[in-house]
Amino acid sequence: MAKIIFVIGGARSGKSAFAEGFAKKYDDVVYIATAEAKDEEMRERIRIHCARRPFDWKTIESPYHVDKAVSDLNGKAGIVLIDCITLYITNMFLRIETGASGRGERPFAPTLAKGHESSPSLTSSDRGGEPNQMVNSADCSEMQKATPQERQQAILAEIHKLGRVCRESKSDVIIISNEVGLGIVPDNALSREFRDIAGYANQILADEADEVYFMVAGIARRIK
């Protein structure tokens, strides 16, 4: 059975650096990246992230179905580092289809309106793996096809599935996520919905984890 370490904190709190330092204690590290390089700024931030990781780490780009990326490894890693859950939720939130079952049968096909494919509708005051919870309602018209309940059910089903797969994995797993609920209440419904889903997802993964670390100003505080 895997040991699951969950690392959570705000933007630029030191989450990735802490998790990467933890992972360096292992041989055969696999890094699962959920970010998508949709513009030059994001590509540069991804380049910086890649440059600071050891050359022998294997990287898997998996913006969707992270559970499958973990299960496909079949224990062929000392540790798996997933960075990050907040972007994983963002990817699903923006591409969920009306009528998706929420049971994982590829429910996240692209549905963004024409002209929106090149950039995410979630604004990012801190990009490169650290989106905030604000959503541009005008850019997210496609999400109106699904109800809030359908979106939440589908996304949290994927998070539950990821938690189970990590628990059943033969490799230890580090999962990184943002705490997006400590700021002001967002001023639009989609932002509040995203914040709530992210909060529920964090609760699910923290409950599944063996150890939970809360990052504050580069300092890790173990809370579980």
Task: Tell me, rounded to whole angstroms, the distance of Cα 97 from its chain centroid.
Answer: 19
Q: What confidence score (pLDDT) does residue 116 get?
A: 29
DSSP alpha helix (H) spans, 57-209: 66-73, 85-95, 148-168, 189-208
Backbone angles phi, psi at 79, to 5 degrees: -150, 145
Strand spans (E) along the chain: 4-9, 29-33, 58-61, 79-83, 172-178, 211-216, 219-222
Q: What confidence score (pLDDT) does residue 118 get?
A: 28
Q: What confidence score (pLDDT) does residue 37 get?
A: 75
Range of the structural domain that residue 72 is part of: 4-215
CATH number, domain of 90, equals: 3.40.50.300
Q: How many CB atoms lie within 10 A of CB 106?
A: 10
**39, 120 in Cβ contact below 8 A?**
no
pLDDT along the chain (224 residues), means of 10: 93 94 96 85 76 88 96 94 96 67 40 29 36 42 70 96 96 97 90 95 98 98 98
Asked if residue 223 is part of any domain, the answer here is: no
- What's the whole-model pTM score? 0.79
Asked if residue 224 is part of any domain, the answer here is: no
Asked if residue 17 is part of any domain, the answer here is: yes
**67, 205 in Cβ contact below 8 A?**
no
Asked if residue 121 is part of any domain, the answer here is: yes
CA atoms within 13 Å, Cβ hemisphere of 40: 0
Give the chain's domain count.
1
Q: What confidence score (pLDDT) does residue 143 get?
A: 47
Asked if residue 173 is part of any domain, the answer here is: yes
